[in-house]
Amino acid sequence: MTPPAIKISERPLTWRDLRLAHTDPAGVTLAKSAQKRVTRAAGTIASVTKGDDAVYGVNTGFGKLAQTRIDNDHLVDLQLNLIRSHAAGTGPALSDSIVRLILLLKIKSLSFGHSGVRLELIDKLASLLAHNILPVIPSRGSVGASGDLAPLAHMSLVLIGEGKARVDGRTVSAAKALGGAGIEPLEPAPKEGLALLNGTQVSTAITLDALFRAEDLFATALLTGAMSVDAILGSDTPFDARIHALRPHPGQAASAAAIRKILRGSKIRASHVNCERVQDPYSFRCQPQVMGACLDQMFDVARKLLIEANSVTDNPLIFASTGDALSGGNFHAEPVAFAADALALAIAEVGALSERRSAAMIDANISELPPFLVSEPGVNSGFMMAQVTAAALASENKALAHPRSTDSLPTSANQEDHVSMATNAANRLDGMNTNTRDIIAIELLSAAQGIDFRRPLKSSRVLEAAHAEIRSAVAFWDRDRCFADDLERINKVIDQGAFATSRTDLFTYPEM
């Protein structure tokens, strides 16, 4: 089956394009206008090699060796050696979803016609996507300037028939992968190795992957928080639209509206409209304010990542209309590092708020539920230790949320004296997402237990459907058992997006 094609043209990549490549194998076609731009820039590089001017990375060494002039007989060796020597990454390999995004982003960046590569190179990158040949890219080894050098070198190894690739879930040699698809290895022309290695595509792709996962978790946390409100006989007054109109942060209003929609029609809420409780704890009534701030943060992150996905981030940049090759710093991934750090804050806060609600539910003085959410406390510990786990994970996320972009270590003999650490900033996000998912899972099970104690009263239609989904995977906690097994089962349901009912309504980002 031929994968769906993403057309690369003057039109910016859209969120649909990015999600398509992230989710499934996707092909790429290059518009004729883009082909012309690429060909003109490649011609400029060919002219440079015939002249006497020194152009960085075309006929000079790299980094601290930029003053070393390379004669024309060694220009191909220069690019091959660059790819091989810079493939110095380590750590677990990036996922297939992230690698597909990396390939798409690199193709888009090169298609602007400011990198000086030939069409042949872009065609080979597109062939990797089309045949689902995914380079094995170690996740560690980039400091985010000059671009994601080491991981992009591992991507580039496969183009020259070296390194390893995943094909249909199996890891094979690059030579075998290319041979099986009838793709000839690339012999890089001048500047092509440098154009492949320079760029922020890896840190951007990893952060996009984390953003997409965080969207599901955010929506799941909103539903879970609403269920917890009913579990403790909480009030829906804090979600009244009139309150949020007076503080018009978009995320706050959207979060409150989502919670109102989830709670609409709850018989549990109707049962205590005139109760004596005046206010609920902040983790319940301030959900729109806290979750809304996280939502706004995620939108800002998305804006920055979409710009980066549609940018040229290698060096030097070629301007075919004038024949200029300008050496700059678009490879510096500081915008991506800031975006990843900002996303880390949102992920951590979603989890922190969820943990506080779990803690409230096991406290009979707050929730008016049985202590630790079990019928016979004492002989049973109930959800006591589950909340401890949630607290441990929330604390770990607080440490992980410390900004990576404030760190910098000079590299390349101090030539590259300030770096972004964008890839480090991005790499910790998946673990943070997993921690937050587990925290939400504990709250979800706690809230479902609380709802069961409110029977025969019913919650809203949305929450009753979610409760049924929970109980199809995890039984009511009538006596102590291994909580880890329950957690594993409910996490599988969360990962399938079963509780992220409001995601589509919440996460429609503007296009460029």
Supply the residues annotated as catalytic. 56
Is residue 82 within 8 Å of 156, Cβ to Cβ? Answer: no
Q: List the structure tokens of 58.
A: 């075309």
Residue 138 near residue 92, CB atoms below 8 Å: yes
Provide CB contacts within 8 A for 280, sequence distance 6+: 229, 232, 234, 235, 238
In whole angstroms, give the CA distance from residue 272 to residue 184. 72
Encoded tokens for 40: 């003109």
Residue 26, helix vs strand vs coil: coil
What is the radius of gyration, based on Cα positions, of the chain?
Answer: 26
Cis peptide leading into residue 238 (ω within 30°): no
* Residue found under tokens 């080894």: 141
- Cα 285 to chain center, whole Å? 29
Q: At what angle do helices 75-86 and 149-159 cross, to 10 degrees?
A: 120
Exposed / middle / buried, residue 367 (Cβ in 10 Å: 0-12, 13-18, 19+): buried
Cis ω for the linkage preceding 446 (within 30 of 0)? no
For the chain, the 3-state helix, strand and coil shares in percent, each to the nearest 5, are 60, 5, 35
Count Cβ atoms below 10 Å from residue 53 Cβ, excluding itself: 11
Between CA 493 and CA 432 the distance in angstroms is 19
Question: How many residues does this entry show for the chain?
Answer: 512
Distance CA 232, CA 271 (A): 12
- The residue type found at 466 is A
Render 294-335 in DSSP notation, one character per residue. Answer: HHHHHHHHHHHHHHHHTS---SSEEETTTTEEE---TT--HH
Cβ atoms 87, 151 nearer than 8 A: no
- Both structure tokens of 382: 């109930």
Q: Is there a contact between 186 and 124 (Cβ–Cβ < 8 Å)? A: yes
Residue 27, helix vs strand vs coil: strand
Structure tokens at 459: 């919650």
